[in-house]
Amino acid sequence: MKTIFLTVFLFIFATAHSVCAEELFSVSSAERGISAFDFKVIEVKRAEGFSVLEIPGFQDRTASASRWMMCMYTELAVLRNKEMWASIYTDNSGDDVTIVFPQSTSLNDPAFDNVDLLGTEPQIVPVELFKKFCGLK
């Protein structure tokens, strides 16, 4: 009986540990061979339906850096098996960008329930549209 209990306990612990051990998303433009700008996208929080990214220097991004960042949001959505994403930030939100993964095109989607919209009305973007633009499969 003790052996069965210990086996079940170890299985549950190992399963829970592997789920919790999933790494947070992190990528840099330099790692991707881009020399036109130098940005890092670092996931600092993951919750049900959204992620918070830290992007040092975000407020000083160029148009080409913005396009690359949208590709990184799309890549993150693909990794999370999501079909849509929306980014939330303002000119005063610093280096933090919240990426929400709604299951509908409505801002009333439950994914937005625990997210501060910062007084904005974010655009919900279909992953399929950006997958092509970003060259993702």
Model confidence pLDDT, tens digit, residues 94-130: 999 999 999 999 999 999 999 999 999 999 999 999 9
Task: Count structural domains, the chain.
Answer: 1
Could you tell me if residue 7 is inside a domain?
A: no
Over residues 53-104, the pLDDT tens digits come to 999 999 999 999 999 999 999 999 999 999 999 999 999 999 999 999 999 9
Asked if the structure places residue 18 within a domain, the reply is: no
19 found inside a domain: no
Domain that holds residue 125: 24-134
In a domain, 14, yes or no: no
C-alpha–C-alpha distance, residues 74 and 128, integer Å: 9
Residue 100 near residue 113 (C-beta atoms within 8 A): no
User: What is the pTM (predicted TM-score) of this model?
Assistant: 0.83
In a domain, 11, yes or no: no
